[in-house]
Structure 1
Amino acid sequence: MNHLFKNCLSLLILCLCISSAKAQVGINYKQYEFGIGLDFNTPYTDAQTSKSSRSARLNFTYNATPFVNYVVEMQTGNLQGGDALNTTTGRQFTNAYNAVMLRGQLQGGEILDYSDGGVKNALKNLYVSSGLGVILNDLKEINRYSIKVPGFYTPGSDKSKQLVVPLRLGYEFKIYNSYSEPHIKIDLGYQYNFILGDGLDGFEAGTQKDSYAQFGIGIKYAFGQIATYRKPISN
């Protein structure tokens, strides 16, 4: 009888463990991510025209929850604008810039009840993000003189360092592993970067601060310590 009781107790404990393990499926997530991405840039500066250019980015993310994220991002690439031959000011530039930004990110899933699926379930991966960063401007090509207006010259600096405020709207397509944990993420986003200065194009002109917009795509890989969320993630 004692032997039978021990076997039943062991079986009960095993069932409880299996039940507990099953209950964990779908609510676990990894707290860290590494990502890479490609952006297409459009500057808004003192040059009379803008040109599209590209940049690359690396980012590291800490996931406080699956839908509350803190992102450290590094960008490197070119910003281009102006036309030395066909504009009255003659302003033209190529900025080989580098930037580092820290952003907080809030996804819809943190505040929405998506348990019933439908539209709310689709919106759970929509996010807004903002923060603060530093951009290092390095003007590799610049024209300060006007061909069409003799004597017209625009002063400025070929190198500068300025604060930048990023504002981002995006969507994450989450790919889940066999434990229903977010494993790989495809990130699509539009980001507008407000420069707290006038050095993005190397020209000191006008009263408006410089800025640049980005449309980009990236991929993130989750790794590291596993944490538990309060509700299923892949509902």
Structure 2
Amino acid sequence: MIKLLTKTAFFTLLLSVTTLISKAQIGYDFAQYDAGVGTTFNQLYGDAETVNTKAGFFINFTHNQTPFVNYVAELQTGTLQGGEKTSLSGRYFKNKYTALVLRGQLQAGEIVDYENSGLMNVLKNLYISAGLGYILNSIKAPDDINRLSNTDPQFITGGLDKSNELYIPARIGYEIKFFNQYNQPSFKIDLAYNFNMDLSDNMDGFTAGKSKDKMVQYSIGLKFALGDIISYRKSIQ
């Protein structure tokens, strides 16, 4: 009888401790991967005189080393457009591009104490990101580009209709996390400003001047958690 009571007490204690530990970990767990989709609004600052805003779309895959340290692979497609055929330079282009971007991302939550500060808890999802991009430019001549000047008919702006280039993506953004019943981030809205510096000068199909092309993107994305669940060193929420 005493042995039975001892065993019952032991298993009750073990179950209580296990339950306590499990409850203590609620809010610490996160998915190791995210799959995402979204849209961008693109502006190209190049050799044309006017800047237009055109849409782009992307899908991405994220490896979460921690909830606040992320590595992203992203595939983009969209349009870059600018200039007017009636402008002084006559420069006009429409580039239907495809791009691959690899970047690392650091959120403030990795380096600030947000557990004891309401302000830091809001700012913990603010992030910076940088990496390397590879873009395939596709301009269909003659409809999607004009190289002839309206002031000097003999002047033609050179460049490539088809080109492949590397560029440097820099990004600042904010990730809004939504939590499931276990306080794990299961769904995210990603808002960002992207500044992309071309290492060549053919995103607009023109090679002119000393400055390289610069692509600005305003993006909104949705991310969905998937994969193994692992634990962080402190509560995420």
Deviation at 1:117, TM superposition (A): 3.3
Quote the offset at 1:97 in angstroms.
0.4
Q: Which residue of 2 aligns with 1:206?
A: 209
Runs of at least 4 residues off by over 4 Å? none
Q: Partner of 2:37 in structure 1?
A: 36
C-alpha contact (below 8 Å) 1:136/1:161 kept by paired residues: yes
Match of 2:231 among 225, 228, 232: 228
1:104-143 matches, within 5 Å, as 104-140=104-140, 141-143=144-146
Q: Distance in 1 between matches of 2:25 and 2:121?
A: 20
Amino acid at match of 1:194: M
Residue 147 of structure 1: CA displacement? 2.8
For 2:71, give the aligned amino acid. Answer: Y
Give the Cα–Cα distance (whole angstroms) in 2 for the partners of residues 150 and 95 of structure 1.
24
Once the two structures are superposed, the pairs formed by residues 139-150 of structure 1 within 5 Å of their partners are 139-140=139-140, 141-150=144-153
Task: String of CA shifts for 1:178-231, please: whole Å, max 9, x gaps.
Answer: 010011000000000111001101111111101110001110001101111000
Bigger mean CA offset, 146-155 vs 24-33 = 146-155
Matched, 1:185 2:188: yes
CA RMSD, Structure 1 to Structure 2 (Å): 0.8
Map 1:1-235 → 2, pairs under 5 A? 1-85=2-86, 87-140=87-140, 141-234=144-237
- Residues in 1 aligned to 2:146 and 2:22: alpha-carbon distance in whole angstroms: 65
Gaps of 5+ in 1: none
Provide the identity percentage.
50
For the residue of structure 2 that corresponds to 1:50, the secondary structure is coil
> Quick one: which amino acid aligns to residue 89 of structure 2?
T
Provide the C-alpha distance between the structure 2 equivalents of 1:54 and 1:145, rounded to a whole number of angstroms.
27
1:89 and 1:152 in contact (8 A); partners too = no
- 2:71 & 2:161 partners in 1: Cα distance? 33
Q: Distance in 1 between matches of 2:191 and 2:159?
A: 35
Letter matched to residue 110 of structure 2 = E
Equivalences, count: 233
TM-score (norm 2): 0.97
Amino acid aligned to 1:49: T
TM-score, normalised to structure 1, is 0.98
Give, in whole Å, the separation in 1 of the partners of 2:159 and 2:12: 78
Aligned mates of 1:191, 1:56 — CA distance in 2? 14
